[in-house]
Structure 1
């Protein structure tokens, strides 16, 4: 379980990354942390990639349909002026943002902002996905979540694509993807 850090005196920022396969609860965990920050009366702003319109254009929506308002982004640098005066910044679906995201998160943390980022760490081919691997290297705290393998019921760490489409960016849900353990993922290849 993640324990939120507490610092006395000077305010320090940090980067938290929540990663894992599809259907592992990344967005739900991000939303839980952001709700707790709001309960603590912290100033919170939430962002997501504009191209992620699976559930809603403005809201971050978890698979179990919980929602939180967000600002859609074309580029990660858009966060910097919008985060002015914030104490916590949340970013969902980080794998769909550009490679400048780690530098943006570094800058936010340097301003004393707590940055909470959620995203897939691997694409459907099991390769590091977008800026997330670089965020993992820079993160002060990392939480790797696991789903349940839809084939055998074991712990799943892979997002298996059920279609033959080989493009890296293919937005979809349970119609196109399912979580799988290493064994079942490799058997399905």
Structure 2
């Protein structure tokens, strides 16, 4: 990623969005970037939606069991209160946050904070998910990751739900979802 040089001395913020299907490595990439920021002695805060307790109540944990300490929150406005004086803010599972997440990310970037957001860009039906389309539209940098289709081995971009239950939001893992390519996800 290219970072513009800052010759004026003022701190410039920006928004990075990491998106893709389930099992594509979004959280893994978020953790990698945040750990590198910590190595650079930057002050980092990480947030996740309180409803996501799949692996841990507090930590952000990838499917590969890599973890980083985070703060579970109920609404995105809390981020503004808890991110005072930080250099980098990480946000996992952004699709689960309320519609204020867009304004929160914008305000942080305007304060000079590097904001790194990870989330599903599409739901299990292949439709735009939550606030992610809006975050993608305001992002300065976008990384789209892909998984491998469990049916044919091609690149997967759909989080195929193996069960017919639940609404748009159904927290689950490999027992509930598998990555599929567009073709295999639409086979009946």
Q: Report the TM range for the smaller structure's normalisation.
A: over 0.9
What corresponds to 1:7 in structure 2? 5
What corresponds to 1:175 in structure 2? 175
Superposition pairs for residues 84-99 of structure 1, below 5 Å?
Answer: 84-99=84-99
What SS is found at the alignment partner of 2:186? helix
**What is the alpha-carbon root mean square deviation over aligned residues?**
0.9
What corresponds to 1:127 in structure 2? 127
What corresponds to 2:79 in structure 1? 79
CA distance in 2, matches of 1:20, 1:176: 17
- 4+ runs deviating over 4 angstroms: none
Indicate the larger mover: 151-160 or 5-14: 5-14
CA shift, 1:4, in A, is 5.3
Superposition pairs for residues 140-155 of structure 1, below 5 Å?
Answer: 140-155=140-155
What SS is found at the alignment partner of 1:79? helix
TM-score for both structures, normalised by structure 1: 0.96
What corresponds to 1:60 in structure 2? 60
Deviation per CA, 1:154-182: give whole Å up to 9, x if none: 00000000001141110000000000001
CA distance in 2, matches of 1:103, 1:12: 17
What corresponds to 2:46 in structure 1? 46
What SS is found at the alignment partner of 2:16? strand
What corresponds to 1:33 in structure 2? 33
User: Runs of 5+ in structure 1 lacking a partner?
Assistant: none
TM-score for both structures, normalised by structure 2: 0.97
CA distance in 1, matches of 2:48, 2:166: 24
Cα distance change, pair 62–4 in 1 and its aligned pair in 2 (3 A): farther
